[in-house]
Amino acid sequence: MKTRKSSIILAVMLTGILAACSFGPDVTGVTEDVAVDRATTYTEGFEACTATGTSYVTGSFTGNNSVKWYYVSAAWSGGTITGSKTPVLGMGKSPAASVYATVSTGVGTLSFKAKKPYTTSVSIAVKINGVTKATFTTSSTTAVTAGPYTINTAGSVKIELVQSSTSAGQAAVDDITWTSYSTTSSSSSVSSSSSASSSSSSTVLNEDFTLPQSVRDYYRSAYGLSGTTLRTTLRTIISAGYVDKGYSGLWTTYQTSDVTPAGKIWDLYSNTDNNGTGATASYWYTPVTSQCGTYSAEGGCYNREHMVPQSTFAEAAPMVSDAHHVTATDGKVNGMRSNYPHGNVATATWTSLNGGKLGAGTSAQGYTGTCFEPRADAKGDIARIYMYFAIRYYGNSSCTAWASMGAGAKLLSWSQTLYRSWSAADPVSSKEKTRNDAIYAIQKNRNPLVDYPAIATLIDFTL
């Protein structure tokens, strides 16, 4: 069995490694002496992992110091470096084979042991928060130490070792060692901005192993992230490869994205089934044949409703035809909702057949203007649509300010608080999952809030 690094080893290392890398000044507001004094060395040797065998598998385990580690396409025998556990990262895997974890107290330096377990040389990318900091190569069949690499990153840090080369072979890695420090002290040498960054980044997006492999891989670069970094990464993910089918293409999309198990149009404004099965509704629509058309009352036809009104982005593409926020709804209810935001209504001036209400907003939510309140079983769906829009179109100059959003698709404080509560009270349903998959099959992007509803609290959508 391997042993954890002792304080004696730390004392010896501090004089050499830490002094050499001199990471203190790169931590905002922290002097070098303070950073070194607070440094602690951690080592992960994978002893706690229960995976075995030569097959390449994906999973996770809680390792030393209660740090949760994840491994992707790693075998657990055949390349031992130290003790009884060494991950062997497979060659040419998609996604690339890797081991990674997120630590919350920053990283000063990072090193690890590696060797080639078979005949081909090793190539390993060292990534920090998704950015490649170094690439290590070796042709040795005996373990050698890579690093120490100077990282100098405070707060929440994702450490990732990736076998990303198709020309290099399998890579055995072990004894990942890093120095970690905290900037949350009340010492005068620590700036308040540093403290806030460290404490606010303790919660990150973690991989959900109950999701299909393809969905998990879709978000691979976002794991271990939070806040603005997470939003930026998710925006990149859901924008890459996007296929705009045009406004008229929504009619075709709805034939698979917005249908009940019985083949009828699934309309949030007519559905009356609290269990999310689409079994009951105030009225039913048949795909294609019930498209609007004209309407004078509910039940006349269904049309295309922009949850974020198209007038707020001047009907510009790709917002105007993005099926994730343009849903199939009853024409009359859509018209009554108009361009008002979704919110809680104090006193209804008009009520739809399934209980949707139009009227003045409540003072408790911080918005008393006219708004539309859907049924409780539709609130989570709509909230997650708004937050999708705020990620996908963040900073888009075409998106102007309106009742629930600021310019650049940023939620306002009142709407963020409300939509977070709606999302929590009305969890993701099978209907939303089916819709997400169907839209992905057509326009090649997903709503992250449906796959990972925890994102609602990991990002400040008002910034």
What pLDDT sits at residue 106? 86
Q: 9-12: list long-range contacts, CB under 8 Å, 24+ apart.
A: 9/41, 10/40, 10/41
Closest CA to 332 of 274, 270, 404: 270
As a whole number of angstroms, the distance between CA 265 and CA 418 comes to 28
What pLDDT sits at residue 24? 33
What pLDDT sits at residue 20? 35
373's enclosing H/E stretch is: strand 370-373
What pLDDT sits at residue 153? 85
Q: Model confidence over 94-117: pLDDT tens digits?
A: 889 999 999 988 898 999 999 999
On whether the CB atoms of residues 224 and 205 are closer than 8 A, the answer is yes
Burial class (CB within 10 angstroms; exposed 0-12, middle 13-18, buried 19+) of 288: exposed
Q: Could you tell me which residues come within 8 angstroms of residue 227 by beta carbon, excluding any fewer than 6 positions away?
A: 200, 201, 458, 459, 460
Domain borders along the chain are: 7-198, 238-458
Amino acid at 448: P
What pLDDT sits at residue 181? 58
251's enclosing H/E stretch is: helix 249-257
Q: Could you tell me which residues come within 8 angstroms of residue 196 by beta carbon, excluding any fewer than 6 positions away?
A: none
pLDDT tens, N- to C-terminus, the chain (463 residues) = 444 433 333 333 333 333 333 333 333 333 333 333 346 888 999 999 999 999 999 999 999 888 999 999 999 988 889 877 999 999 988 889 999 999 988 898 999 999 999 999 999 999 999 999 999 999 999 999 999 998 888 888 999 999 988 788 999 999 999 987 543 333 322 222 222 222 233 388 988 888 999 999 999 999 989 999 999 999 999 999 999 999 999 999 999 999 999 999 999 999 888 767 788 999 999 999 999 977 889 999 999 999 999 999 999 999 999 999 999 999 999 999 999 999 999 999 999 999 999 999 999 999 999 999 999 999 999 999 999 999 999 999 999 999 999 999 999 999 999 999 999 999 999 999 999 999 999 999 999 999 999 999 999 999 9
As a whole number of angstroms, the distance between CA 96 and CA 89 comes to 9
As given in the structure block, the two tokens for residue 417 are 């608080």
As given in the structure block, the two tokens for residue 39 are 């440094």
Q: Could you tell me which residues come within 8 angstroms of residue 221 by beta carbon, excluding any fewer than 6 positions away?
A: 130, 233, 236, 237
The torsion region of residue 288 among left (phi > 0), alpha (psi -120 to 50) and beta comes to left
3-state helix/strand/coil string of 148-170: EEEEEECCCEEEEEEECCCCCEC
Query: In this structure, what are the phi and psi dihedrals at residue 128, rounded to the nearest 5 degrees?
Result: -125, 120
As a whole number of angstroms, the distance between CA 360 and CA 136 comes to 62
What pLDDT sits at residue 179? 87
Largest CA distance in the chain: 82
Closest CA to 98 of 164, 42, 167, 46: 164
Q: Model confidence over 143-195: pLDDT tens digits?
A: 999 999 988 888 889 999 999 887 889 999 999 999 875 433 333 222 222 22
As a whole number of angstroms, the distance between CA 457 and CA 420 comes to 7
Q: CA triplet 461, 462, 463: central angle to 5 degrees?
A: 95
As a whole number of angstroms, the distance between CA 460 and CA 231 comes to 9
Domain 7-198: state its class: mainly beta
On whether the CB atoms of residues 400 and 412 are closer than 8 A, the answer is no
Number of continuous H segments (helices) and E segments (strands) in the chain:
13, 18
If you search the block for the tokens 């730390």, which residue do you land on? 10
On whether the CB atoms of residues 324 and 403 are closer than 8 A, the answer is no
What pLDDT sits at residue 30? 31
